[in-house]
């Protein structure tokens, strides 16, 4: 191991940039960039949670956006019913996501491979239709969150800078947690199941139980992202659960590099900045983005972190 | 009685349409081991081509035929340019690459045809109600969909089970290395199968077009239904796809039609009207969950190695 590798240097640079961003925004008076990066940080959190099951666990969930919606609707519905405290909203958002993950995971993990991809996709789509059918909470049109979660004055979510740092702290917390999980005995079992489920089972590990726990942890983390996202946009609608959003999250993970700790963060930053950049050039940005994805799949193995890793080895 | 018969036929018609879509998806997956999310885009393109060609030629049948050919060609081009390079890669790569293709197709359609939907008007001879039972009339066009889809299903069955090409396709599904070693041009066979799948999706799209609006993203919702169908039916199995498609079409249509009334008998009318739309759109997913619990491989799994 070299003392300073390219991949570590670039990661550190990006993270430092994220930490110092509000300073730049204040000095330059560019408020838009802070709003943009709040979104990026939240979606990076969602992508990091997906990386836990996809990159380390080998479970290709194509329905991860469902948790964004569940977390968001937990905040939105409670706010509408007069429960404004974040100390209630956030735990409920996490618990609801965990419960959904438990049920969906228990069913989906009966299958594997491409079935698993399709099943998670279909269940997320079901959640989308259920949200569209919630006439009391806006149905198709979505639900406006008139008041952001209230943390008894400890932290003010209406302040752009404070909210940004809250999101960033959540992101770092989740990445730290994932790092601890991945290097724990539990994490090693889950990674072992990815490489060879039969062998692990023969050793005596209850494969499905380990995978289900991992699936639930990941879903709960993504529920946190959902609760933050609803606060960020002051709005939650079925659209956050739409399957293209799940696809976006997958793209972020793969673009960053599957199974790399900071991969999803890099992926989210690059993907969303690219989207922003392309949409400023042309209204038809997806016309470029689509084929670009195809090229990344065909030629860019291992994503950004893989590329940086190759630079390390020279 | 009238309503029951009508909804039953609607369910059958929807199910058969879903079969056309699911058959292509399951063929491509069973033989090339390719997960093609862009299958829904081909369905959309079929509808857009039909709307354009029918307006252009002024003849419904001719326009539909041209649209079918155009989707077939598009499918073949897509396979040769992009998807061919994905065979043998990880399923995740397929998902990602074809997800990119969806973005591309949706945006291309927006660029070419504009963001507003198109309508595909029917010729007068297809709009007349046809008596199917004494006193019961059914729209001729929906009846035509049922007949065409059944005919295609029959042809597909005969084609796959009784012809030489079909034999090669089945052989390719069960052991691709061996059939390649026996001197069959696998590449050509794959291109052919993909084109066939594309044409089936296009046919479904162009037949559905006069009933719904032709719009961007129309392929995506129905694609997910097609996924549900091949999961229920068993991936790679055409017979499974057929039965599951008809089943899903029926459940979905009948659920939407009769569930609200059924619920109103049990619950208060306000509770029923709130729960019914959500519940009826959940029905098929619940069905899928039950099938998965009982038979994780689907109801009619194709024989795998």
| Interface residue B282 vs chain A (CB under 8 A) | yes
Q: What's the confidence (pLDDT) of residue A103?
A: 95
Asked if A282 reaches chain B (Cβ–Cβ under 8 Å), the answer is no
- Nearest-CA distance from B193 to chain A in Å? 20
Q: What percent of chain A has pLDDT over 90?
A: 58
A250 has a chain B CB within 8 A of its CB: yes
pLDDT at B261 over 90: no
The residue ranges of DSSP E strands in B48-207, in sequence order, are 129-133, 136-139
What average pLDDT is seen over chain A?
90
Best to test chain B binding among A128, A133, A244 (most B CBs inside 10 Å): A133
Q: Which residues of chain B are within 8 Å of residue A115 when distances are taken between CB atoms?
A: 231, 235, 296
Q: Say if residue B210's pLDDT is above 60.
A: yes
Q: Point out which residues pair with A144 in neighbouring strands.
A: A235
What's the pLDDT tens digit per position in B8-18? 999 999 999 99
Q: How far is B274 from chain A, CA to nearest CA, in Å?
A: 7
| Angstrom distance (rounded) from CA B163 to CA B157 | 10
Element (DSSP H or E) covering residue A297: helix A286-299
Residues of B in contact with A136 (CB under 8 A): 274
Instruction: At B204, list the tokens.
Output: 């479904």
Check residue A63 and give its pLDDT.
92
**pLDDT of A241-298, one tens digit each?**
998 899 999 989 988 888 889 999 999 999 999 989 988 888 888 888 888 888 888 8
Share of chain A above pLDDT 70, in %: 98
Of A240, A308, A182, residue with least CA distance to A39? A240
A119: pLDDT strictly greater than 70: yes
pLDDT recorded at residue A73: 95
Q: What is the pLDDT of residues B170-193, one digit of tens each?
A: 888 778 788 888 888 888 889 999
Give chain A's end-to-end CA distance (angstroms, integer).
13
Say whether pLDDT at A78 is over 90: yes
CB contact under 8 A, A118 and B227: yes
Local confidence band at A82 (pLDDT 50, 70, 90 cut-offs): confident
Cβ contact (<8 Å) for B111 and A284?
yes
Tell me the pLDDT band of A154, cut-offs 50, 70 and 90: confident
Encode pLDDT of A180-236 as tens digits.
Answer: 999 999 999 999 999 998 999 999 999 999 999 999 999 999 999 999 999 999 999
pLDDT at B304: 47
Query: Rg for chain B (alpha carbons), in Å?
Result: 20
Assess contact for A84 and A153: CB atoms under 8 A. Answer: no
CB spacing of A122 vs B227 below 8 angstroms: yes
End-to-end, the C-alpha distance of chain B in Å comes to 48
pLDDT score for A155: 84
Confidence of residue A314 (pLDDT cuts 50, 70, 90): low
Q: Which residue has the higher pLDDT, B13 or B256?
A: B13
Give tens-digit pLDDT for B61-108: 999 999 999 999 999 999 999 898 888 888 888 888 898 999 899 999
The answer to whether the Cβ–Cβ distance between A115 and B296 falls below 8 Å is yes
Residue of A nearest to B114 (CA): A284
A107 touches chain B (CB under 8 A): yes
Chain A interface includes B234 (CB < 8 A): no
pLDDT band at B305 (very low <50, low <70, confident <90, very high): very low
pLDDT band at A3 (very low <50, low <70, confident <90, very high): low
What count of Cα atoms within 13 Å lies in the side-chain half-sphere of residue B14?
21
ipTM: 0.82
What's residue B302's pLDDT? 65
What local confidence, expressed as pLDDT, does residue B303 receive?
Answer: 56
For residue B170, the surrounding DSSP H or E stretch is helix B164-174
For residue B127, pLDDT beyond 90: no
- Quick: pLDDT tens for A160-191: 899 999 999 999 999 999 999 999 999 999 99
More confident residue, B213 or A91: A91
A60 touches chain B (CB under 8 A): yes
Please give the residue of chain B at the shortest CA–CA distance from A115. B231
Reported as a single tens digit per residue, the pLDDT across A51-64 is 999 999 999 999 99
Cα–Cα distance measured from residue B278 to residue B295, given in angstroms and rounded to the nearest whole number: 26
């Amino acid at each position: 191991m070299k003392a300073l590798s390219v991949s570590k240097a670039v990661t550190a640079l990006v993270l430092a940039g994220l930490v110092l961003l509000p300073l730049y925004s204040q000095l330059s008076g560019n408020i838009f960039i802070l709003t943009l990066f709040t979104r990026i940080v939240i979606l990076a959190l969602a992508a990091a949670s997906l990386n836990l099951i996809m990159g380390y666990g080998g479970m290709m969930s194509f329905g991860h956006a469902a948790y964004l919606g569940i977390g968001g609707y937990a905040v939105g519905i409670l706010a509408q019913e007069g429960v404004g405290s974040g100390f209630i909203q956030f735990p409920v958002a996490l618990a609801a996501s965990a419960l959904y993950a438990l049920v969906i995971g228990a069913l989906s993990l009966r299958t594997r491979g491409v079935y698993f991809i399709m099943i998670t996709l279909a269940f997320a789509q079901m959640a989308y239709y259920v949200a569209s059918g919630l006439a009391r909470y806006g149905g198709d049109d979505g639900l406006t969150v008139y008041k952001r979660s209230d943390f008894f004055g400890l932290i003010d979510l209406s302040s752009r800078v404070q909210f940004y740092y809250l999101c960033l702290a959540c992101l770092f917390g989740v990445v730290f947690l994932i790092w601890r999980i991945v290097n724990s005995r539990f994490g090693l079992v889950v990674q072992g199941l990815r490489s060879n489920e039969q062998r692990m089972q023969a050793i005596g590990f209850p494969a499905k139980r380990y995978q289900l726990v991992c699936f639930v942890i990941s879903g709960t983390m993504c529920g946190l992202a959902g609760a933050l996202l609803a606060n960020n946009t002051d709005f939650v609608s079925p659209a956050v659960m739409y399957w293209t959003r799940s696809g976006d999250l997958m793209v972020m993970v793969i673009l960053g590099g599957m199974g790399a700790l900071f991969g999803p963060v890099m992926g989210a930053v690059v993907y969303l900045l690219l989207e922003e950049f392309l949409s400023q050039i042309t209204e038809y940005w997806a016309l470029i983005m689509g084929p670009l994805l195809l090229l990344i799949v065909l030629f860019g193995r291992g994503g950004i972190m893989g590329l940086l890793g190759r630079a390390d080895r020279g | 009685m009238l309503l029951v018969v009508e909804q039953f036929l609607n369910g059958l018609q929807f199910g058969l349409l879903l079969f056309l879509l699911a058959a292509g998806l399951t063929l491509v997956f069973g033989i090339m081991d390719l997960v093609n999310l862009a299958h829904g885009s081909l369905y959309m393109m079929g509808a857009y081509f039909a709307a354009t060609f029918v307006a252009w030629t002024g003849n419904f049948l001719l326009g539909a035929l041209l649209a079918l050919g155009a989707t077939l060609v598009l499918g073949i081009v897509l396979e040769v340019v992009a998807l061919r390079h994905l065979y043998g890669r990880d399923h995740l790569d397929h998902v990602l690459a074809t997800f990119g293709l969806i973005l591309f197709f949706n945006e291309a359609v927006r660029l070419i045809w504009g963001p507003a939907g198109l309508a595909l008007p029917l010729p007068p001879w297809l709009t007349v109600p046809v008596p199917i039972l004494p006193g019961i009339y059914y729209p001729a066009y929906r009846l035509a969909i049922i007949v065409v889809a059944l005919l295609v299903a029959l042809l597909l069955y005969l084609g796959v089970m009784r012809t030489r090409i079909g034999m090669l396709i089945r052989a390719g599904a069960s052991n691709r290395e061996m059939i390649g070693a026996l001197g069959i041009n696998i590449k050509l066979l794959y291109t052919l199968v993909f084109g066939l799948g594309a044409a089936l999706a296009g046919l479904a799209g162009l037949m559905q077009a006069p009933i719904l609006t032709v719009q961007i993203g129309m392929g995506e919702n129905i694609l997910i239904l097609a996924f549900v169908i091949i999961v229920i039916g068993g991936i790679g199995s055409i017979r499974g796809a057929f039965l599951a498609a008809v089943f899903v079409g029926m459940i979905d249509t009948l659920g939407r039609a009769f569930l609200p009334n059924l619920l109103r008998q049990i619950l208060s009318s306000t509770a029923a009207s709130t729960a019914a739309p959500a519940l009826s759109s959940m029905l098929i997913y619940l069905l899928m969950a039950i099938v998965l619990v009982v038979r994780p491989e689907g109801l009619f799994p194709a024989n795998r190695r």
